[in-house]
Structure formats: structure tokens, C-alpha cells
Amino acid sequence: MNEANRQMTVRVAARSSAAVLLACACGTAAAQQSPALDNVSVWLGGFYANTDTKVSASDPNNQVNGHVNLEDDLGFPDHKFSPRARVDVLLGEHQGFSFDYYSINRKETRYLSRAIDYRGVTYAASAKVSGKLNFDFGSAAYRWWIGHGNGVFGIGVGAAYYGVSTRLSGEASALGETAQASTHSDDNAWAPMLQLGWRYAVNDQFRIYVDASGVKKNGGKLAGHIYNGAVGAEWFPWKNVGFGAEYGYTKIKIRQHHRNYNDGLDMKVNGPSLFVRLRF
């Protein structure tokens, strides 16, 4: 082989090696997990919820028999701390599961400043009335994350569980007579859910995110919709332990269908949340 051919062979080999190394590097970059995601993420904390809650009742013909605003009529506190927990598990680099749970439990006893009607029963002004509301929400979704860099966009589909328990008891007046009265309802349901999310890693210690989800169920004993949106940030002063803060808004509108009457729950919840964050 002459010198010219030898130099040409060396150049071809060098170019081929560079192409192989570049392809391997690109493959490694493509397979790299986004720094905005963790193999396992855990949120433990709760939110300081500002609530506006109305429970209502109507007969089967949808003629409203009355409603009660828990904050205005029964003096429920506008703010309450409610526990919340989340877990995200990544399978591979772009898919995984997401779990979420929170509970809003409220109970209050007050003397009425004005008469209220609920389910055809009149609770007179100055009567002592006790109200109770328990709302539980849990969800499980399968998520797909799109992107490789510091920012990723996620889509999730799954199912949500929600349960509503209400109770109103006290002195009631009807037809000129006063007596003890009590009404209550307790039901739960499953419904399909859609999630959207965005994550961005500013650096290894600081991240920001946006989440939105919707639950809707038509028909059945417990029908309605639940919409949620949140904007948050995470700070990790340590590798696996950090803190999270977010501001969220939730709109809940649920109808419970019974044989002789229908119940309704309209609740708006907004406020800040604080979490201890664990990542692995």
C-alpha cells in the first residue's frame, strides 16, 4: 500500500470512529433521565385550605328544598390545615405511576343567627345546630413524560376515589312545633381522571412545577366533577431530602342521588401547601 492510500485509510478509520463515538454519545443523551424527575418522589405534608362550602338538598323533581353554607350559616372556620401525601414512581425514564391523597374533615356546633331550611326541615334562629363534613380524595394514574432536558411535560390517565359524608343535627321547627331533627348522607364513588403536568429543574437543588387534573363522572349515586390546579417549587438543601411549597385551587361539585331526595356539595378550596420532600 502506498503512502497516499495509507493516509486515506487512516482518515476513513478516524472518521468512522468519530461517527461511532458520536452515535453512542447521542444514544446516551437520548437515554438520559431528565433532572426534573426522580426514580421515587415522596411528598408528606398538608395544605392550609381556605374553603367555601355549600351543602344543598332537593326533591326528585329538582325543586330546591334548601341549602346551608357551612362558613356563613354554621360558622365553620374559613381556614383549616388538611393532611396530604403524594408518591411518584418512575419506570424507566419516561413513564411511571402517580398517587395522591388528601382529606378535608370539618365539624362545628353553633347557635344560628337566622333560620335555615334543609331537606324540608326548618332550623329556627337561635337553635343549636351541629354540622359535619368529611371529604376524602385519592387518585392513581399512569403518566408519560415527554422531554429529556431540564423541562418535561407529562400526561396522566387513571382513576380517582372520592367519598362524601355530611350530617346536620339540632333543634328544628315545623308546623309551629319545635323538635330534635337530624339529617345525614354518606357515599363514595370512583371516576376517570386526566392529569397534566410540567416540571423544570433550575439546578440540582431547585425545581418548579405546574399541575392540573380533572375528574368527572356522570350518572350513578355520586356524580359530579373535581378540578384542581397548582403551581409549586421544590428546594433540596440535601441530596435526598428537601422542602416543597405550592399554591393550589380545587373546585368540587358533587351530587348524591337518593330515592326520595338529592344532596349536593359545592366546595371551593384554595391556599398554600407545605411538604417535606424525599427523592431517591
The SS3 call for residue 176 is coil
The band of 88, judged by pLDDT with boundaries at 50, 70 and 90, is very high
The domain segmentation of the chain, as residue ranges, is: 1-31, 38-279
With 60 as the cut, is the pLDDT of residue 6 above it? Answer: no
The pTM assigned to this predicted structure is 0.81
Exposed, middle or buried: residue 85 (CB in 10 Å: 0-12, 13-18, 19+)?
A: middle
- 155 Cβ contact list (under 8 Å, min separation 6): 143, 144, 146, 195, 196, 197
The grid cell for 145 is 413524560
Average pLDDT over residues 86-109: 94
Nearest to 110 by CA among 194, 45, 171, 159: 171
With 70 as the cut, is the pLDDT of residue 30 above it? Answer: no
| Residue whose entry in the numeric block shows the C-alpha cell 337518593 | 258
With 50 as the cut, is the pLDDT of residue 13 above it? Answer: no
* Check whether domain 38-279 has CATH 2.40.128.90, yes or no: yes
Question: What gap in Å lies between CA 271 and CA 280, rounded to an integer?
Answer: 28
CB atoms within 10 A of CB 231: 15
**In which element (H, E) is residue 20 found?**
helix 3-31
The band of 162, judged by pLDDT with boundaries at 50, 70 and 90, is very high
With 60 as the cut, is the pLDDT of residue 18 above it? Answer: no
Tens digits of per-residue pLDDT, 212-249? 999 999 877 789 999 999 999 999 999 999 999 999 99
Looking at residue 12, what is its pLDDT? Answer: 36
With 90 as the cut, is the pLDDT of residue 22 above it? Answer: no
Beta-sheet strands, E only, within 19-150: 40-58, 64-69, 79-91, 95-111, 116-118, 121-123, 128-146
The band of 176, judged by pLDDT with boundaries at 50, 70 and 90, is low
Looking at residue 44, what is its pLDDT? Answer: 98
Looking at residue 27, what is its pLDDT? Answer: 41
Q: Give the lowest-confidence range in 150-154, 163-167, 202-206, 226-230.
A: 163-167
The band of 141, judged by pLDDT with boundaries at 50, 70 and 90, is very high
Average pLDDT over residues 151-163: 96
**What share of the chain has pLDDT > 70, as a percent?**
85
Nearest to 269 by CA among 107, 43, 46, 47: 47
Looking at residue 60, what is its pLDDT? Answer: 66
Looking at residue 163, what is its pLDDT? Answer: 92
Judge whether 211 and 249 are in contact, CB under 8 Å: no
